[in-house]
């Protein structure tokens, strides 16, 4: 099998070389000048270009056809590789000032090679599928043909079907789980459920149909061995699982998180090349799905397969679909988790997913207001407030210590106050005032003492909270700071806000006070 895979890889590599060479010679032939002039001039840079083409293609595993199961598996490396080569070619031309080469030959060669690669990928994919369909002939259909031809006794086909049905009755055994996910994954699963217990469903699927087709009230736990990265609609899958297990029933699954994926890329490729590859991976897999302009293009290309998902988004989606996290464990390059059903799904049809988010906050008179901010946390992080509070301690300033929900870009934006700028819209709408208590989430609001809660809802929250004037460290000190501010504000609103504004401005500009 390995020998056959190597042979296919070698053939694909040779075909790729032939495609690039034919594309190059075609555009040399199109030029009106003599081929004797162009070939000697362009041959050395063409050899270098071919070397670059092969190096990038090998680095991104473009030639390993045995790993490519879908058409997108074939096309994505071609698109990613050609984009890297195109960018590198432009960079080299500009950096070394090599503007004398014909743009038609340089970019025409790349364009034609790309089209030929896509064409042959289509041909290969559909030819492979047709071959598989031809090779796969159901034994029972063949048995029926034999029966019609008089080669089998009457009733023998039905007997074979009955034997097959009886063979399907026993539950999934441990060997199948090991074969699919490994022995360590089996140990993690059996730590929480008995894999062979008939009331536990062990399945390997990416579609909610295979969950919804199960009868309600049958299973106490559902284990799915396929990663959630390949679910076209993650929440729909989680909701389907929720509908098929009772309250306190368990759901076990796994994910390849962004953190794990980055570590894998950095290990797999050599320095510099791994950084370049990760940059393009980050742009396409993590930025494109979040921008309205590129979102449709991203899902058209990937169909939701092999999506990038963070640990925070994974757990946030679980909580939004009525689960709570029981345990997590990284096994190999997968993060396995056990979740317990505690309620019905929230069915949030408007989750905060893009760069601008609307966060629920407690406003004046306890009314719910929606505060606009630039996203600094991973999607669905708002559902993890209680989980983070239970698993993390508060650091100086009242924020959670080691909050994994905050992204790397988000930490930078918080330091520079960029994330607060959209809140100016809330101030213009009258939800906030310039100086005032911090607008709190309902979960964080519940941590405050009752007397302060009553005082807080008597006034509007502010864009610049008393925190930046007093610089408290603990939650108790933050409450004391806000209590002092509110007492003074109720007596003299304008003078209190005036005094706190200048004190906060001094701490922000001179003492570099920042949000974490």
Encode pLDDT of 473-507 as tens digits. 888 889 999 999 999 999 999 999 999 999 988 88
Residue 377 pairs with which residues in a beta bridge?
406
Q: Is 185 exposed, middle or buried (0-12, 13-18, 19+ CB in 10 A)?
A: buried
Average pLDDT over residues 216-245: 92
* Residues 305 and 232 sit within 8 Å (Cβ to Cβ): yes
- pLDDT exceeds 60 at position 387: yes
- pLDDT exceeds 90 at position 256: yes
**Three-state SS for 224?**
strand
Per-residue pLDDT of 57-89, as tens digits, reads 888 878 776 666 777 777 888 888 888 888 888
Average pLDDT over residues 282-307: 84
Q: What percent of the chain has pLDDT over 70?
A: 81
**Three-state SS for 438?**
coil
**What is the residue extent of each domain of the chain?**
2-130, 170-257+309-341, 260-302, 356-509
pLDDT value of residue 336: 97
In whole numbers, what is the pLDDT of the chain averaged over residues? 81
Q: Pick 11 or 241 by higher pLDDT.
A: 241
**Candidate from 8-17, 230-239, 243-252 with smallest mean pLDDT:** 8-17
pLDDT value of residue 152: 47
pLDDT value of residue 512: 67
User: Nearest 5°: CA angle at 395, between 484 and 361?
Assistant: 60
pLDDT value of residue 34: 52
* Residues 362 and 456 sit within 8 Å (Cβ to Cβ): yes
According to DSSP, the β-strands at 200-203 and 221-227 are parallel
pLDDT value of residue 513: 64
CATH of domain 170-257+309-341: 3.40.50.150
Residue 203 pairs with which residues in a beta bridge?
224
According to DSSP, the β-strands at 433-435 and 462-464 are parallel
**Candidate from 214-218, 288-292, 476-480 with smallest mean pLDDT:** 288-292
DSSP 8-state symbol, 395? -
pLDDT value of residue 254: 96
pLDDT winner (highest mean) among 17-31, 209-223, 279-293? 209-223
Average pLDDT over residues 19-32: 81
**Candidate from 212-226, 248-262, 394-408, 489-503 with smallest mean pLDDT:** 394-408
pLDDT value of residue 170: 47
Average pLDDT over residues 270-297: 86
Average pLDDT over residues 2-12: 71
Chain position carrying tokens 């953190």: 259
Number of residues written out for the chain? 516
Q: What percent of the chain has pLDDT over 90?
A: 29
**Candidate from 57-71, 157-171, 263-277, 280-294 with smallest mean pLDDT:** 157-171
pTM: 0.59
Q: Pick 95 or 128 by higher pLDDT.
A: 95
- pLDDT exceeds 70 at position 433: yes
Per-residue pLDDT of 103-130, as tens digits, reads 888 888 888 888 888 877 766 765 555 4
Quick one: tokens of 107? 């970019």
pLDDT value of residue 140: 37
- pLDDT exceeds 90 at position 470: no
Cα distance between residue 166 and residue 202, in whole Å: 18
Quick one: tokens of 38? 């162009």
């Amino acid at each position: 099998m390995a020998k056959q895979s190597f042979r296919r890889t070698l053939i694909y590599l040779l075909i790729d070389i032939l495609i690039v060479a034919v594309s190059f010679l075609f555009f040399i032939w199109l030029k009106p000048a003599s081929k004797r002039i162009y070939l000697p001039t362009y041959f050395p840079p063409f050899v270098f270009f071919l070397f670059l083409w092969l190096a990038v293609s090998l680095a991104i595993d473009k030639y390993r056809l045995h790993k490519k199961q879908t058409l997108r598996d074939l096309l994505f490396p071609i698109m990613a590789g050609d984009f890297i080569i195109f960018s590198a070619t432009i960079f080299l031309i500009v950096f070394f000032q090599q503007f004398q080469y014909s743009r038609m030959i340089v970019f025409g060669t790349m364009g034609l090679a790309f089209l030929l690669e896509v064409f042959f990928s289509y041909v290969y994919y559909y030819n492979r599928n047709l071959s598989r369909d031809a090779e796969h002939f159901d034994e029972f259909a063949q048995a029926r043909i034999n029966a019609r031809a008089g080669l089998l006794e009457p009733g023998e086909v039905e007997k074979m079907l009955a034997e097959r049905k009886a063979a399907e009755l026993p539950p999934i055994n441990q060997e199948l789980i090991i074969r699919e996910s490994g022995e360590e994954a089996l140990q993690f699963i059996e730590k929480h459920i008995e894999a062979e217990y008939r009331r536990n469903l062990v399945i390997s699927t990416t579609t909610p149909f295979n969950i919804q087709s199960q009868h309600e009230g049958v299973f106490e736990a559902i284990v799915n061995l396929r990663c959630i990265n390949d679910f076209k609609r993650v929440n729909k899958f989680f909701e389907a699982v929720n509908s098929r297990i009772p309250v306190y029933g368990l759901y076990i699954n796994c994910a390849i998180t962004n953190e794990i994926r980055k570590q894998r890329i950095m290990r797999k490729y050599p320095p510099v090349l791994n950084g370049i590859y990760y940059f393009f991976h980050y742009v396409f897999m993590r930025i494109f799905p979040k921008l309205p302009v590129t979102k449709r293009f991203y899902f058209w290309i990937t169909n939701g397969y092999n999506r990038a998902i963070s640990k925070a988004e994974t757990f946030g989606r679980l909580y939004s679909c009525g689960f709570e996290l029981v345990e997590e464990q990284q096994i190999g390059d997968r993060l396995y988790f056990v979740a317990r059903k505690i309620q019905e799904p929230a069915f949030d049809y408007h989750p905060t997913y893009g760069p601008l988010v609307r966060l629920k906050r407690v406003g004046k008179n306890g009314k719910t207001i929606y505060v606009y901010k630039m996203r600094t946390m991973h999607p669905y992080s708002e559902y993890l407030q209680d989980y983070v509070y239970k698993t993390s301690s508060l650091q100086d300033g009242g924020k959670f210590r080691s909050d994994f929900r905050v992204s790397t870009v988000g930490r930078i934006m918080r330091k520079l106050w960029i994330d607060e700028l959209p809140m100016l819209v809330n101030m213009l709408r009258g939800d906030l005032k310039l100086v005032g208590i911090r607008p709190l989430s309902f979960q964080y609001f519940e941590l405050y003492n009752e007397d302060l809660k009553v005082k807080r809802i008597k006034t509007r929250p502010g864009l610049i909270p008393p925190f930046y004037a007093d610089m408290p460290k603990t939650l108790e000190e933050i409450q004391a700071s806000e209590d002092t501010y509110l007492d003074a504000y109720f007596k003299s609103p304008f003078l209190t806000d005036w005094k706190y504004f200048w004190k906060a401005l001094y701490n922000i500009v001179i003492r570099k006070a920042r949000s974490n």
